Amino acid sequence: MDWIGLIGQTLHPLVRHRPPLNEPKRVLVVKLCCIGDVIFATPMLDCLRRAWPDATIEWLVGKWSAPAVENHPALKHVIHARSGWRALARQMADYDLLVVPDRSSQLSLAALRSRVPHRAGLDSAGRGFGYTVRAPIDPDEIRHEADIYLDVARALGLETAGCRASFVPTEAQVERVANKLTLGRPFAVIHPAGGNNPGMYMPVKRWAAANFAALAERCVTHLGLQVMVVGGPNDGPVTADVLRTMRVPAIDLTGQLSLGEVAALAQRAAVYIGNDTGLSHMAAAAGAHVLMIFGPSDPRRYGPFAAPDRVRYVWRPVEMPGGVNAGPPPDFDWVRDGVSVEEVWAGLLALLGL
């Protein structure tokens, strides 16, 4: 535990609890990183908006993850977070209620220092010392991360039924994607990269390029789909491996689309196929048909949190060492422990109702 956490454990019983506001005028959701986690926190917006339809709701988020929420209809503003707990405390000030679906002791300290009278957040191992409304969690219990975040809403006495992850592309993103599409037949979007963001580098989460290529070939030959391969500006080596291995034509859109444009593309696709990545969760939250491939991460904790008839994951259960901070199993091997092309193909057919 870091020094902030140690101080927090000392302060934990000293922070006076207050009842939440009945009708807060200004609410700030604080979730900085990363894209998938921010998407998992978006169900909170449904809860807050449903409870307080006239409140101004804003979101404090890291610049990297801001695209996940910057066009959300429930939000008035998205604020880029500054570095350091003191700067964060200043950004948190002047609200009626802080909502912090995060385990960070630094955010807890910043919330305490902000002097906002009502502060609700997760309390794991005493790290929620800065909150007046605490949602205690058991890190050893296997629960979906989004449902854990919703414990903050439950601690505030809010109804959480029916709250799902949501992402809304901008009109410009939808229009740009529509202008790029000149296909006369349905298509599949394949994103073979991921596992790389400011909070984590875990390339082991990526299914093998040869497997993606084999799956893409089946999409073309058995389902008659066109294939589009997407990736960020730094994903060229990953997508090139897939394209080089494929024996059918595909459209390479690597580095050509923003995150929101990929989600808009996924909305129009017959299916989006990807690893356990923030972009895959964004596509699912946008309402696309999404098939996610899991290996050294646990879909019971990190699976898509969207309408169950539109999303599906494929995973061969492996022994996981723990929760959010434990990392992948140290000896995970895709050939021995991961899903095969046949298993993913069966999951794809099930998702499409075939």
Among 155, 186, 209, the domain-final residue is: 155
Contacts 24+ apart (CB under 8 A), 322-329: 322/139, 322/140, 323/139, 323/140, 324/103, 324/139, 324/145, 327/202, 328/202, 328/204, 328/205, 328/296, 328/297, 329/296
pLDDT in the model for residue 328: 75
Instruction: State whether 127 and 198 are in the same domain.
Output: no
> Is the residue at 11 inside a domain?
yes
> Is the residue at 273 inside a domain?
yes
Of the pLDDT bands very low, low, confident and very high (cuts 50, 70, 90), residue 128 is very high
Provide the domain count of the chain.
2
> Is the residue at 166 inside a domain?
no
Instruction: State whether 131 and 182 are in the same domain.
Output: no
Among 103, 125, 155, the domain-final residue is: 155
* Residue 193: pLDDT over 80: yes
Instruction: State whether 134 and 197 are in the same domain.
Output: no
Instruction: State whether 191 and 309 are in the same domain.
Output: yes
Average pLDDT over residues 72-84: 97
Beta-bridge partner residues of 80: 61
What pLDDT, in 10s, does the model give residues 268-323? Answer: 999 999 999 999 999 999 999 999 999 999 999 999 999 999 999 999 998 776 65
> Is the residue at 165 inside a domain?
no
> Is the residue at 161 inside a domain?
no
Residue ranges making up the domain that contains 99: 3-155
Instruction: State whether 324 and 178 are in the same domain.
Output: yes
Of the pLDDT bands very low, low, confident and very high (cuts 50, 70, 90), residue 203 is confident
pLDDT in the model for residue 179: 87
Instruction: State whether 133 and 178 are in the same domain.
Output: no
* Residue 198: pLDDT over 80: no
pLDDT in the model for residue 1: 53
Average pLDDT over residues 1-17: 53
Instruction: State whether 96 and 191 are in the same domain.
Output: no
pLDDT in the model for residue 325: 61
Of the pLDDT bands very low, low, confident and very high (cuts 50, 70, 90), residue 326 is low
* Residue 330: pLDDT over 90: no
Average pLDDT over residues 96-108: 97
Instruction: State whether 19 and 145 are in the same domain.
Output: yes
> Is the residue at 280 inside a domain?
yes
Instruction: State whether 7 and 146 are in the same domain.
Output: yes
> Is the residue at 336 inside a domain?
yes
Q: What is the mean pLDDT of the chain?
A: 92
Name every residue whose Cβ is closer than 8 Å to that of residue 248 and which is 6 or more positions away in sequence: 216, 217, 220, 221, 227
pLDDT > 70 fraction of the chain, expressed in percent and rounded: 91
> Is the residue at 160 inside a domain?
no
Instruction: State whether 121 and 246 are in the same domain.
Output: no
pLDDT in the model for residue 305: 97
Q: How far is it, in rounded angstroms, from Cα 142 to Cα 288? A: 26
Q: Is the dihedral of CA 62, 68, 74, 77 positive or negative?
A: positive
Check which CATH number belongs to the domain holding 114 and give it.
3.40.50.2000
* Residue 104: pLDDT over 90: yes
Instruction: State whether 211 and 308 are in the same domain.
Output: yes
Instruction: State whether 207 and 264 are in the same domain.
Output: yes
pLDDT in the model for residue 202: 82
Strand 196-197 to 187-191 pairing: unpaired
* Residue 341: pLDDT over 70: yes
Q: How far is it, in rounded angstroms, from Cα 56 to Cα 40? A: 21
pTM score, two decimals? 0.92
pLDDT in the model for residue 324: 55
* Residue 89: pLDDT over 60: yes
Helices (H), 141-248: 145-155, 171-180, 209-223, 236-245
Of the pLDDT bands very low, low, confident and very high (cuts 50, 70, 90), residue 11 is low
pLDDT in the model for residue 195: 79
* Residue 161: pLDDT over 60: yes
